[in-house]
Amino acid sequence: MDLPRRRFLAKAGLTFASLLSANVLISSAHALEGISAIEHFLSDKNNFAIAGIKLRNRKAIEEIYRVRKFAPLWTTDSHPTYTSVVVAQRLANANLLGLEPSKYYGRLLNQLATENFHNNLLEFELLMTDSLISYFDDIAHGATEPPTSKAGWKLERARLPANEIARGFFNGEKSLSETIDELHPTHYRFNRLLNALRDYQAIEDTGGWSSISNGPSLAIGDRATRVAELRQRLLVSGDLQYNTTLDHELFDNELAQALTDFQTRHGLEPDGVLGPNTRKALNVPVSERIAQLNLNLDRWRWLPREMGFSNITVNTAGYEMDVTLSGQVAMNMNVIVGKPKHATPLFSDTMEHMVFNPSWYVPTSIARKLLRKEARQPGYLIGNNFEVRNKSTNRAVPFNQLTPFDLDPQFFSAKYWLRQRPGDENALGRLKFMFPNKYSIYLHDTNSPELFAESGRAFSHGCVRLEKPEELAELLLTADGHDYSAIKSYQAQQSTKKVNLHNPLPVHLTYQTAWVDDSGKINFREDIYKHDRHALAQLDNNHTRFAQAESNALALTGMTLVSNLY
């Protein structure tokens, strides 16, 4: 949408806000002349298009108007109703919710309402209703489609009774604002992200930010014209709050701190140095960041509205995990997730138990690598507390009884397991948290805690490694009613101990490349599993397709863009 129209809509938003505050409802008043036209059109089952646009929700439209005895929703005495002004404004401002405005034909509806409106009653009525139904559905379920299960996206898409919820509005029983609130995700992270989107749209409306020129790395004490570019860039995005220096080309401590803040919220090494990776992140246009915010809003719409009053949510793209107990965030920690070639699958399940001092039955793919290492370094497996167990008997088999054929990586797994005993060398560490699933994914401790110091933490073969496993165990077991002294005894003993949860806990493995943290800062992350690429392509296609359809409809109706309805 161009800047003049955005500015106009911002002014029109004052009218819109006042109408919403009045809890505008659908009026029962109608123009008699519109009744027969609507009924006639809908009685012909072959009518699927109006103003050159194929109706997306014909069946739902028919049901809505039949209940109303085919009375118009949006017109009275051959004029647009007060409510239609509110609705059209919402559709034109769909970008404020991260949705594509042209999908809801705001320009076309504006023209139908302003140019020979008396002759456009039917088109205005049906396109307005059709667009609003689609708008409600997109608010509830998202306007884009999740990646395929083959791509690792196993999360089930939320299914709300959007038509049933919307029916209350069409029947005049609830306001537009109430309807949208009921359809929206209620999670606090969604609402934070929505506010962030509007902040970035405001930045775009004022011209966005400029790119940083190419050149050598810059740090504290350096002086260059590129330092002034960096200073201006960080002022626009809010990382540099105030520009107190008179020497804009000097890289001072204030600028270094602002750059460190930028690096931290973009998942970069927070060294306060303008290097290649940091410059690349700085030069991402604001329009691309807005698209990233849009697609991450859709991901919240895909998730269940009820994620559990208590739950664990892992953001694989952000390498972090939240623990919510009784509706309050009780713990946050860094995590390690799967490498891109061993991507952590995204799904929801239920944590049922945890295991202290677990053993590790090595997956076949990893066992092959370890057996090759054993061939190069005889004694490696024994030295790292591994044993071989027969699959049919589950009994340990001494290494000296195994033949070279038995230890061949190609044939070993047909007959044997490779198991690592509990202990400090164990890859699972001292704890694992089990939510049994067909992907063999779980949360666990690690024997490589130094990896948590890395800004990018995609190192595992799929499971999620925890920064603070003992604190998590204490938190969950205490909340679950387990005695504190018993918890300490589990931690102290060397043998394996399985502890069941009295109240199983929902676990959600998600993928968010944009979010707002508890300090109110917008965070962005790299698209480690290329799910953003899939979604951004959809956003681009949607914009092209719907903008073209709207332009074609304007051309078919022979109308030109004139003054706004508002």
Q: What is d(CA 237, CA 111) in angstroms, rounded to the nearest whole number?
A: 37
The yes-or-no verdict on residue 249 having pLDDT over 80 is yes
Pick the range with the lowest mean pLDDT from 27-41, 237-251, 471-485: 27-41
Does residue 561 surpass a pLDDT of 50? no
| CA neighbor of 53 nearest in space, from 488, 556, 400, 562 | 556
In terms of Cα–Cα distance, which of 297, 21, 388, 360 is closest to 176?
21
Rounded to the nearest 10 degrees, what angle do helices 162-170 and 176-183 cross at?
170
pLDDT band at 48 (very low <50, low <70, confident <90, very high): confident
pLDDT above 90: percentage of residues in the chain? 70
What local confidence, expressed as pLDDT, does residue 23 receive? 56
> Residue 414's beta-bridge partner residues?
none
Using one digit for the tens of pLDDT, what is the confidence trace for 407-435?
999 999 999 999 999 988 899 999 999 99
Q: How many helices (H) and strands (E) does the chain have?
A: 18, 19
pLDDT of residue 35: 54
Q: What is the pLDDT of residues 126-153, one digit of tens each?
A: 999 999 999 999 999 999 999 988 889 9
Q: What is the 3-state secondary structure (H, E, C) of 262-291?
A: HHHHCCCCCCCCECHHHHHHHCCCHHHHHH
CB under 8 Å, gap of 24 or more: what pairs does 371-376 form?
371/407, 371/408, 371/409, 371/412, 371/418, 372/409, 374/407, 375/407
pLDDT category at 326 given cuts 50, 70, 90 is very high
According to DSSP, the residues that pair with 456 across neighbouring strands are none
Q: How far apart are the first and last CA of the chain?
A: 17
Average pLDDT over residues 279-300: 97
Q: Among residues 127, 147, 142, 130, which one has the least CA distance to residue 183? A: 142
DSSP class of residue 211 equals: P
Strands 311-315 and 497-510, how do they pair?
parallel
Q: What confidence tier does 26 reach under pLDDT thresholds 50, 70, 90?
A: low
* H or E element in which residue 471 lies: helix 469-479
Q: What is the dihedral of CA 137, 138, 141, 147, to 10 degrees?
A: 140
Name the phi and psi angles at 515, rounded to 5. -160, 170
Residues contacting residue 556 through CB under 8 Å, at least 6 positions apart = 51, 52
Any idea what DSSP says for residue 421? Answer: P
CB 386, CB 418: distance < 8 Å: yes
For residue 413, the 8-state DSSP code is G
Q: pLDDT band at 158, cuts 50/70/90?
A: confident
Q: 444 catalytic, yes or no?
A: yes
Segments of 347-470 assigned E as strands: 348-356, 360-361, 386-390, 396-397, 416-420, 431-434, 443-444, 458-460, 464-466
Q: Is 426 exposed, middle or buried (0-12, 13-18, 19+ CB in 10 A)?
A: buried
Tens of pLDDT along 346-386?
999 999 999 999 999 999 989 999 999 999 999 999 999 99
Q: Can you tell me the distance from the alpha carbon of 247 to that of 236, in angstroms, rounded to the nearest whole number? A: 18
Q: How far apart are CA 478 and CA 22, in angstroms?
A: 48
In order of their start, the domains of the chain are 3-185+531-556 (no CATH), 209-284 (1.10.101.10), 307-516 (2.40.440.10)
What is the C-alpha separation between 550 and 538, in angstroms, rounded? 18
Residue 29, pLDDT above cutoff 70: no
Residue with tokens 């401590």: 253
Top mean-pLDDT range of 22-31, 43-52, 155-164: 155-164
Structure tokens at 203: 């930045």
Question: Cα–Cα distances in Å, from 200 out to 55, 289, 422, 448?
Answer: 33, 8, 50, 39
pLDDT tops 60 at residue 62: yes
- Closest C-alpha among 298, 347, 301, 310 to residue 158: 301
Q: What is the pLDDT of residues 252-277, one digit of tens each?
A: 999 999 999 999 999 999 999 999 99
The model carries a pTM of 0.88
CB atoms < 10 A from the CB of 352, how many?
13
| Predicted local distance difference test score (pLDDT) of residue 216 | 96
Concerning whether 248 is annotated as a catalytic residue, the answer is no
Catalytic residue among 30, 141, 266, 463, which?
A: 463
Asked whether the beta carbons of 290 and 299 are under 8 A apart, the reply is no
Triad 132, 134, 137: Cα angle to 5°: 110
